[in-house]
Amino acid sequence: RIQTLLESEMNSVQSQVHPAGMNAVLMDAKTGKIVAASQRPTFNAATLNGIGSAWTNTLTADTYEPGSTMKIFTMSASIDSGHYNGNDTYESGRYSIDGKIVPDWNPSGWGYITYNKGFALSSNVAMAHLEQQMGPKTWKKYIKRFGFLKSTNSGLPGELSGKLQFTYPIEQADSAFGQGIEVTTMQMMQALTAVSNNGTMMKPYFISKVTNSTNKKTVKKYGKQVVGHPISAKTAKAVRKHMQDVVYKSYGIGADYKIKGYRVAAKTGTAQVSNGSGGYASGDDSYLYSVAGMVPANNPRYVMFITMKQPKLTGTKTATQLLAEIFKPVITRALQNSNAKQTTVKRTMPSVAYQTTTYAKRILNEKGLNVVTIGSGDTVLKQSPSAGKSVSEQKRVFILTSKGWKMPRIIGWSKNDVEEFCSLTGLKLESTGKGYADSQSISFEKSISSGDTLKVNFE
């Protein structure tokens, strides 16, 4: 089940970096139906453990500055209002507005670059210029068109409307890259449907129908509801193209969100966290990281939005890599369940047995294959599939090294992949069900050896 997989991936990331909070929502791009949603902190629904007075539904009752994911809507507004020329250039790095500095995340900048490239690089300076070209009146009109600053009327208690600081030119420019504006996760989901659904914005909904518990008759039905047309279909398609550049251009900063077999449109975000006194918290752990993604990019079936607040990053993985650990398996499973059309690219499996592990990984990665390395040895002893076999990009390929075998996290793997892994390592597989793995008896990172028994349930 998608919800079960989402909870599992959220737990995994939570255990790695212990963020102050996380939200993740998967939505049907065409209807607004919430397919799966989760938050941290959470509580046990059976025992109510964890649902103290401080607990809130952060999907609706928590606001935050979205950071660079807001650039999706700045780009949309600029294109839709007729102000955008992506091949125009500007000087990146720093930009002064009335003596106040708008900095890029790379303060040295990238020299003079086009606005197209600026979006893929997540340049704040580019967005500040776009806001000024539109003018504050036009930009604010689009902010409201996208449904920000008012409740989505989700029906969930305590839903907030958000805030906007918009008095001074620097505040107007800041809002274009997600500072000085506060939003809810439900507002973001609703606004994203306008981009995924070719300009038509859908109201998010959780419940399909309410039935009488006695006679099982339907009391009320809920379904898709159009709540606006903030941009044209042409604009939406153009914005999705720019979001693909974030993932696939060599200079784009979203390569971690590539999914084998599907074209992804995404935008990453990093926002400073408020200190509650009108300023921002300080320190390495004072950020909210996010990603908004749509797949397949050309005709999205699903939209996913994830936030992670103040994780304790150790340097082993970046925030982007951690969010991708939630995004990729969950949205892949949803796409597989819905039989969404894949972009299949065939590759020929090279011979890497008896090569160094470093060389083998490089060769396989260059071919765009999804490599699973088993062990920490310097030399590859076995490979699967064998050399010369035709494999699709989304297919996992395995290389077995000489020592240090540890159990990978196989939640979300197909039954064929698990069987292939067990065959290569000599593990004895005991399985129930069919479909994709949703449990494993040997925990992640535990040492394994040939002859061990692995129990897996597939759903």
Q: Where are the domains positioned within the chain?
A: 2-338, 346-458
Candidate from 88-97, 167-176, 197-206 with smallest mean pLDDT: 197-206
Strand partners, 113: 90
| pTM for this entry | 0.76
Question: Is pLDDT larger for residue 435 or for residue 173?
Answer: 173
Distance CA 202, CA 105 (A): 33
298: CB partners within 8 A, 6+ apart: 240, 263
Using pLDDT thresholds of 50, 70 and 90, give the confidence band for residue 341.
low
Rounded Cα distance between 454 and 312, Å, is 32
Q: In which region does residue 212 sit, left (phi positive, over 0), alpha (psi from -120 to 50) or beta (all else)?
A: beta
Q: What is the dihedral of CA 139, 142, 148, 152, to 10 degrees?
A: 170
| CATH 3.30.10.20 is held by the domain 346-458 | yes
Residue 45 has pLDDT above 60, yes or no: no
Cβ-contact 265, 300 below 8 angstroms: yes
Q: Are 369 and 347 in contact, with CB atoms under 8 Å apart?
A: yes
In this predicted structure, the answer to whether residue 43 has a pLDDT above a threshold of 70 is no
pLDDT tens digits, 380-413:
999 999 999 988 765 789 999 989 999 998 887 8
Tell me whether residue 390 is one of the annotated catalytic residues: no
pLDDT in tens, 229-269: 999 999 999 999 999 999 999 999 999 999 988 999 999 99
- The pLDDT of residue 53: 43
Contact 162, 183 (CB under 8 A): yes
Q: Is the pLDDT at 55 greater than 50, yes or no?
A: no
Mean pLDDT over 318-330 rounds to 95
Binned at pLDDT 50, 70 and 90, residue 42 comes out as low
CB 377 within 8 A of CB 403: yes
The catalytic residue among 8, 68, 78, 154 is: 68
For domain 2-338, give the CATH number.
3.40.710.10
The stretches of 99-249 forming alpha helices (DSSP H) are 115-120, 124-134, 136-145, 169-175, 185-196, 233-248
pLDDT of residue 54 exceeding 50: no
| CA distance to 71, 207, 391, 440, per residue, from 150 (Å) | 19, 21, 49, 44
Mean confidence (pLDDT) of the chain: 90
pLDDT(315) > 90:
no
Q: How far apart are CA 412 and CA 12, in angstroms?
A: 13
Task: Confirm whether 2-338 and 346-458 share one CATH topology.
Answer: no
Task: Match 């709540």 to its residue by tokens.
Answer: 227
d(CA 410, CA 325): 12
Nearest to 420 by CA among 352, 354, 372: 372
Lowest mean pLDDT among 166-170, 267-271, 323-327, 333-337: 333-337
Rounded mean pLDDT, 60-82: 94
pLDDT tens for each residue of 120-158:
999 999 999 999 999 999 999 999 999 999 999 887 778
Count the alpha carbons within 13 Å of 265 in the hemisphere toward its beta carbon: 25
The conformation of residue 247, written as its DSSP 8-state character, comes to: H
Residues 211, 215, 216, CA angle at the centre, nearest 5°?
35
